[in-house]
Chains A and B, each alone.
Chain A
């Protein structure tokens, strides 16, 4: 019985995930695109929960859906009408190539996964209740993966500084423009 309930949740979440994904790439107005991405992130968070990744689901919603997307919406609002962009364009050949490339990627991913993992995807490992909890993630981050953790913080710092530098107005730029 519970299994059926999980299946239903999964279908709703996966459907929402793919639907909002399509919406992200197909909207003309970036504002709606960004909103769709928030929906996409939320439905992904549900999938994460189903995969026992509690902490990541929370992080996804708070950090990603919250702060990162708010930053996005700010920029969209700042740009106003100028943000609206033509759907596509350019040579038809280019558009066709893009579709072919995307489909090829998709097919290949499925085929490779099937080849390499097809037989091993049915019996997931037994896990404890604490798997994916903030405590276990925290412990792993601060012990085995401490270096990666610290490097990540440096990456973020560099990105923050870079964002500020790029966004700062200089008198000269305004004149050039």
Chain B
């Protein structure tokens, strides 16, 4: 294989995952939390595809495709939730959605 080994891709994926996780845990805007989640999913996808290349097995790519579909589904639901929150005149802040407080 020309260029960098698969390990390099994995490191990029790991860093991307970390960035995404940080976004999910730090940011208060639900929109950005959702975007950060996408980052994490894409990092996972990159890992899957990198390993698929390493093993020469297409299954990893198929899995990545399924992850994409799940991500699309998740965006649809997430955006639906955000729109519903906006409709109810709630502040768009995940800290405000705290009805689960024990």
Contacts and interface: CB of A to CB of B under 8 A. Distances in A.
A30 B2 CA distance: 38
Nearest to A118: B7
Contact of A159 (B11, B50, B74, B83): B74
Q: How large is the interface on B (under 10, 10 to 19, 20 to 34, 35 or more residues)?
A: 35 or more
B29 to A, nearest CB: 3
Shortest beta-carbon contacts, A-B, top 5: A125-B56, A85-B29, A6-B3, A166-B80, A25-B23
Contacts of A87: 27-28
A63 B72 contact: yes
Interface in A85-116: 85-90, 95, 97-99, 101-103, 105-106, 109-110, 113
14 contacts: A21-B20, A25-B26, A25-B35, A47-B46, A55-B61, A85-B27, A90-B95, A98-B25, A102-B21, A124-B54, A140-B62, A145-B62, A158-B73, A177-B87
Q: How large is the interface on A (under 10, 10 to 19, 20 to 34, 35 or more residues)?
A: 35 or more
Given A25-B36, A68-B71, 6 more contacts: A47-B46, A72-B31, A85-B32, A102-B19, A127-B53, A167-B79
A3 to B, nearest CB: 5
A2 B18 contact: no
Given A21-B20, A163-B80, A177-B88, A127 B56 contact: yes
B58 A131 contact: yes
Contacts of B12: 14, 17-18, 47
Interface string A145-174: 100100010011011101111110100011
A48 B49 contact: yes
B80 A59 contact: no
Given A72-B79, A98-B25, A166-B80, A140 B35 contact: no
A141 B3 contact: no
A121 interface: yes
Interface of A: 2-3, 6-7, 9-10, 14, 17-18, 21-22, 24-25, 27, 30, 33-34, 37, 40-41, 44, 47-48, 50-53, 55-56, 59-60, 63-64, 67-68, 71-72, 75-76, 78-79, 82-90, 95, 97-99, 101-103, 105-106, 109-110, 113, 117, 120-122, 124-127, 131-132, 136-137, 140-141, 144-145, 148, 152, 155-156, 158-160, 162-167, 169, 173-174, 176-177
B20 A3 contact: no
Residue of B11, B21, B76 contacting most chain A CB atoms (<10 Å): B76
A72 B39 CA distance: 14
B2 to A, nearest CB: 4
